């Protein structure tokens, strides 16, 4: 794979991984911030309701000099916390001093659905990467070029141009080195260059240009 294509693939995979993992990572970071730097407040319960097996409490967190109040927050809680919220009309909430929107609730029930979905998406992404690498290796075409002159160092990048007839100029990164041959990686294919006594100035993973006749 050429340098540009390799980096493009890495950036694309990294972007997809970021999109998949950012929501979970962000929520985990906020919970850690609340646990580490949060303050405990008494929130006013505005509604309680049962949705299937879930016990939901709606509440309002009062503001202070540093934090704006926020309303209509909802949390799923356990049975004891739900009963106490209905009886007292209050709920123990821990919030960030300067951001009331980031909070945790005493007795809160957290779902692992988001974590499961994120892990499954990560496994799917890893499987896709493995399949891409394996199929690229299997489907990559290898050509054979018989050199007619010394190879030359060149800027990074892949090239496969026909000069005339079966005479070609090829450039790519050195993937393999042999006594009288060198294999160039052009990204979507490999070219085995038969040196026939001509010099090769490049080492492993260095770009080089070869000129000769394509024999296979």
Residues (pLDDT < 50) of the chain are: 1-2
CB 45 within 8 A of CB 83: no
CA distance 47 to 66: 26
Q: State residue 140's pLDDT score.
A: 57
Q: Is 200 exposed, middle or buried (0-12, 13-18, 19+ CB in 10 A)?
A: buried
Task: Find, among 35, 40, 33, the residue nearest to 93 by Cα.
Answer: 40
- CA 126 to chain CA centroid, Å, is 10
Q: Tell me: the pLDDT tens digits for 86-137?
A: 999 999 988 887 765 688 888 888 777 777 888 888 898 888 878 776 666 5
CA distance 103 to 98: 11
Q: State residue 213's pLDDT score.
A: 95
CA distance 159 to 73: 59
Q: State residue 4's pLDDT score.
A: 57
The Cβ of residue 100 has, within 10 Å, a number of other Cβ atoms equal to: 23
Q: What is the total residue count of the chain?
A: 216
- E strands, 106-166, in order: 141-147, 152-153, 159-164
Whole-prediction pTM: 0.49
Task: Find, among 57, 46, 64, 169, the residue nearest to 109 by Cα.
Answer: 57
């Amino acid at each position: 794979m050429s340098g540009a294509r390799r980096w493009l693939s890495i950036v694309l995979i990294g972007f997809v991984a970021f999109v998949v993992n950012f929501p979970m990572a962000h929520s985990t970071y906020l919970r850690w911030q609340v646990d580490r730097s949060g303050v405990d407040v008494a929130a006013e319960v505005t509604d309680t309701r049962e949705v299937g097996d879930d016990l939901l409490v709606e509440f309002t967190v009062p503001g202070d000099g540093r934090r704006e109040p926020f309303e209509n927050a909802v949390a799923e809680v356990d049975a004891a916390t739900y009963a106490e919220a209905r009886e007292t009309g209050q709920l123990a909430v821990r919030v960030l001093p300067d951001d009331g929107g980031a909070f945790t609730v005493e007795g809160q029930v957290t779902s692992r659905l988001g974590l499961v979905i994120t892990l499954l998406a990560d496994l799917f992404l890893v499987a896709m990467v493995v399949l891409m690498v394996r199929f690229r290796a299997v489907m990559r075409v290898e050509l054979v070029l018989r050199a007619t002159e010394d190879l030359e160092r060149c800027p990074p990048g892949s090239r496969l141009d026909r000069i005339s007839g079966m005479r070609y100029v090829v450039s790519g990164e050195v993937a393999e080195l042999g006594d009288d041959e060198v294999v160039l990686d052009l990204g979507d294919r490999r070219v085995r260059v038969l040196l026939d006594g001509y010099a090769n100035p490049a080492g492993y993973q260095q770009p080089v240009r070869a000129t000769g006749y394509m024999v296979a």
